[in-house]
Structure 1
Amino acid sequence: MPSDYNENGLPVSDDIIDRILLFSPTFSSLQATILTCKQFYRVFQVHPKSVVRAVAYNITGPALPQALECIRHPDIQKLPHEFSSRAYWGESDEDLEDDDSKDEDSDENSGKEDKKEPNTQLKQINARTGDIDIDIEDLSSAPITALETHEILANSKVVARLEDLFSFRYLDRSASTSQLSWSESQAFCVAMYHLMLYSSIFHPGTWNISSDSENDENADVGEHREKFEKRKKHLSRLSTPELLQLHSVAEFLKEILLWCVRTSGYPSEICDLALAAGPVRILKCFDNQDNSPLQPLEDMLDYFEEELELHPRLAGLLSGPHLKNLEARNVKPPPSDFTHWLSISPRVTERNSQCDRCQKSFGFNTFSRSTFTELSNGEHLRLHTTSLSYYDSKNISRCLKNHLRFNYAESKCFSHEAEKFGASLLLQIWNDLWNLRIVIQLPKDQQNLPDWTEDDYLCEDCFRSFLFENLWLWWRHVKSGSEPLKDNCWYGYNCRTQTHSITHAEKLNHLCEQTRF
């Protein structure tokens, strides 16, 4: 054997192999690495617990103790059977079928002694808890089991996705992935795991709603007070900064739910349902907007809705005990304006969530060069929630100016040409309009809005206004490049005859301004 080889037969020592395993970014990469050769597998068997914990830390970051608490807290197991599924606080059937969810099986089989010790240790923790305070260090100290790796991975995906949304909404509209700093990301993730745990322990499925209609009102009041005190005690273990951060991520979930149901006719009070549903379900609502955004909450709506009014206990599910804890510490309630987001990041400004043209909040939709670039790269589904089919080649002719949009011949020709650009259609339109300097600006005496600019971040209303004013100019430029334009119609895009006479629509050019009045 060459002298530069170690006893393991490889050009690297076992210590280096161990470091390679410790820095695996995911459990799937860990599995792939240890299956590379017997030496890697043997090194893993020496320290399986520490390696698995290190990879879990690589996935969750400093929030690993809170991530473990979300799946190990003994009160989670006390939920009624119909509400005790992992799917209600971080696991889903789809996640379990994900490739990354299969990664730890062979790892765990290599060390069968690991299977008993974690379970025994957790049982000892569960037996000690009762009504006393639970030490998070106890919950996170036990070795991580194979099942828990799946749950950690599923929950971390939810938290990471919500962090991306938060960053996009309040920090950097040009990036679809989180731009939070290391400390800001830690604050957000820890707070989101705290909320994930809170919504699972105090899930409304544990409430005795039937008692609301019973005659013994004193017993009902006493039960309500007892549960309120339990929620208050649970939050009391958090530091004041953590309480403020918890409030901010709770408000963020409410915003997401309100955005999802903005066209559903529900009152704004429905946002209180977000904290009862928890982060996983709210994210599912966000991802389900093209179909039925409230479908993930249907069973909860049926459970709590009474004559189109949500159960009154939902309103103070978090805010009541949260404010009581702040009051006990002589801390002012969180501000009601955007400044409460500063608990997560001091870089948050109100302008980050506003349209550059009308200054209104654009919610979770923004239209800009970066949006169109993501769309052209097939990345738009990650953050953008508008049904972008409205702007595809088949439908974008609806944005032609005035009566042009009802010109069948023009719309058909437009759609055929637009198909050539595929997913990059909006990016092509945006770039061409600015490169050719043909963007129409309204006369200063006819508007109280700023000029369009190439770097604008626009809400959907303003973006459609931009298309209505300028899309026909782009189409005229493209069309004139392939064939000579016909004689102009006197009435241009305002011509009504073009909408019902194909002969007239094909005979004259209507991509022009009106010259006869």
Structure 2
Amino acid sequence: MRPSEQRLPLNHDILGCIMASSPDFDTLHSSLLICKIFYSAFRTRPKGITWEVAHNVVGSTLPQALRVLKYPYGDNTPESEPLAMAAASPESSIPDSITAQEKHALTENSELIQALEDIYSFTNKDRTSKTSVLTHLETLRFRRAMYRFLLYSKIFPSTAYIQFPFDDLLPHRLLKQRMAILDVYPTEELLELSSAVEFVRSMLDVAKKYSGDDLNEFLLSTGPSGALMVWNNWNYYVLEDRVDLEFVEEEVIPPGMVDYFSTPLQKVLEERNVLPQSTGSPTSKYILDQVNGENDCCSQCGAPDGLKLYCEANWHRFPSRLRNLLKVNLRSNTTIQHSFFEKALKLEYSAELGELYGDLFTLRNDTTPVFDAWKRSGSYCRRCLSRFFDEHIWIWFLNERVKEGWTPPENCPDGFDCRLQGKDRAHEEEKNHLCFPVNYVLSSN
């Protein structure tokens, strides 16, 4: 084929539009390597095509996303002028170029914000969907606010109190800087930001179980990515490379991290005569226009728990350790402790846990009609679901042991309720306690 016949029958404008529709930078880069014609077309307007692909990656919040990358005050110098910090690299500015490193960071941050939006939607908008069902406007509010908090945590990082010696004026300077950063946003969008940060705070609630509100405020300094790590791992120890956990363990607020976000926000809103959102307020406020299922009731007891109800989509977030759902006396049985706890540790806080809970509905026992109406597709409050799991986890474990080749000995008349468990090792070994007590009747309450 002659060279003239290898040319695409498209002009540079059309090729430019094709490249500008690339969903990400990797796709754009691949197209440039495929054919010289594409590269030649790209060279006619590299900035415009790159900008459009960046918009495809990030969406309408590209100005906020780029400011995170372009902002020059990343080291949080305490002596920096607040007004200068607030005015630096405004969202309205259009950068001359986006470096390869910034393209990579844009993609990473976009994936982070998308993961957070999915969790936000899942916990605040619609508990039946693990992926976001936010409307376009709700998505804009959430992502805009989250990028701004990402910037805030970049300007005031969790390591700031270590980098600079503490002095009596440091808290005052930091407060003025933080207020200046927040003060550039319109009131409506500042309230959206407050809701987004309240959501991040709720993701850190696993740390709250061991500390307090003030330390949760300190952990906010790890930003959206830190909150996602805590959410995915169910503990704050995953932040050990980002914060000094001795402060958390000793319940001491580190210098420079006192009133990390709440106080600056409150003071800015007070200066505008606006009542600030209190800690613990609904995280859907100012961001969501509608909540799906907010008036839903428990399929069994009728409790009007709304988004707090559990269904197949959110069983994996059920806030109880699997090992604690085993019948009380069975937990003392030394012949099954090790095997059960070993299985529990492998499943706890994993994606497989939700699948296990779903499988329990196929193990519904036939000794009592209490569970006849329980359906896998139902929605249940925490109290009811705890009761259901408590009555079936041991059945699952029995099946697992049998699958592994275990042959149960003769059943103990008292079954899982036997009080000799943990006291009489010989009795534990001679009898099977993974069974119902004789004449066992489960109350419907």
Contact 1:403 1:493 in 2 (8 A): yes
Are 1:240 and 2:170 counterparts?
no
Counterpart residue number, 2:167? 211
| Range that drifts further, 51-60 or 399-408 | 399-408
Alpha-carbon distance between aligned partners in 1 of 2:218 and 2:296, rounded to the nearest angstrom:
24
Percent identity between the two aligned chains = 27
Secondary structure in 2 matching 1:62: coil
Alpha-carbon distance between aligned partners in 1 of 2:369 and 2:394, rounded to the nearest angstrom:
11
Secondary structure in 1 matching 2:87: coil
Q: TM-score, normalised by structure 2?
A: 0.74
How many residues get paired? 422
49, 55, 58: which one aligns with 1:51 = 49
Show the 5 A alignment for 1:105-504: 130=84, 133-134=87-88, 136-137=90-91, 139-203=93-157, 205=160, 209-212=165-168, 220=169, 224-259=171-206, 261-263=207-209, 265-289=210-234, 292-299=237-244, 301=245, 308-311=251-254, 314-334=257-277, 338-339=281-282, 341-348=284-291, 351=294, 368-371=311-314, 384=317, 399=326, 402-403=329-330, 406=333, 408=335, 423=352, 426=356, 429-433=359-363, 441=370, 454-457=376-379, 463-472=385-394, 489-496=412-419, 500=424
- Cα shift at 1:148: 1.1
Alpha-carbon distance between aligned partners in 2 of 1:45 and 1:69, rounded to the nearest angstrom:
26
Secondary structure in 1 matching 2:114: helix
Counterpart residue number, 2:73? 75
- Cα shift at 1:59: 1.4
Structure 1 residues 181 and 311 mapped into 2: Cα distance closer, same or farther (>3 Å)? same
Amino acid of the residue matched to residue 196 of structure 2? V
List runs of 5+ in structure 2 lacking aligned partners. Answer: 441-445
Alpha-carbon distance between aligned partners in 2 of 1:277 and 1:183, rounded to the nearest angstrom:
27
Structure 1 residues 37 and 354 mapped into 2: Cα distance closer, same or farther (>3 Å)? farther
Contact 1:164 1:177 in 2 (8 A): yes
Structure 1 residues 65 and 403 mapped into 2: Cα distance closer, same or farther (>3 Å)? closer
Contact 1:8 1:39 in 2 (8 A): no
Q: TM-score, normalised by structure 1?
A: 0.65
Structure 1 residues 469 and 7 mapped into 2: Cα distance closer, same or farther (>3 Å)? same
- Cα shift at 1:209: 4.9
More helix by share: 1
- Cα shift at 1:190: 0.7
Tell me the alpha carbon deviations over residues 485-513 of structure 1, each in whole angstroms, 9 at most, x when there is no partner. Answer: 98765333334567756688667786233
- Cα shift at 1:170: 1.2
Secondary structure in 1 matching 2:313: helix
Contact 2:222 2:242 in 1 (8 A): yes
Structure 1 residues 497 and 147 mapped into 2: Cα distance closer, same or farther (>3 Å)? closer
Structure 1 residues 182 and 428 mapped into 2: Cα distance closer, same or farther (>3 Å)? closer
- Cα shift at 1:78: 5.9
Secondary structure in 2 matching 1:24: coil
Tell me the alpha carbon deviations over residues 323-382 of structure 1, each in whole angstroms, 9 at most, x when there is no partner. Answer: 23323333222255644522111224795999877778999xx8642356xxxxxxx7xx
Secondary structure in 1 matching 2:204: helix
- Cα shift at 1:307: 6.4
Amino acid of the residue matched to residue 267 of structure 2? K
Structure 1 residues 410 and 154 mapped into 2: Cα distance closer, same or farther (>3 Å)? closer
RMSD of the alignment, in Å?
Answer: 4.8
List runs of 5+ in structure 1 lacking aligned partners. Answer: 81-128, 213-219, 373-379, 443-450
Tell me the alpha carbon deviations over residues 389-423 of structure 1, each in whole angstroms, 9 at most, x when there is no partner. Answer: x65xxx79x7257449838489979x99xx9xx95
Alpha-carbon distance between aligned partners in 2 of 1:428 and 1:149, rounded to the nearest angstrom:
41
Tell me the alpha carbon deviations over residues 181-219 of structure 1, each in whole angstroms, 9 at most, x when there is no partner. Answer: 11111111111111121222234627855313xxxxxxx
Contact 2:64 2:91 in 1 (8 A): no
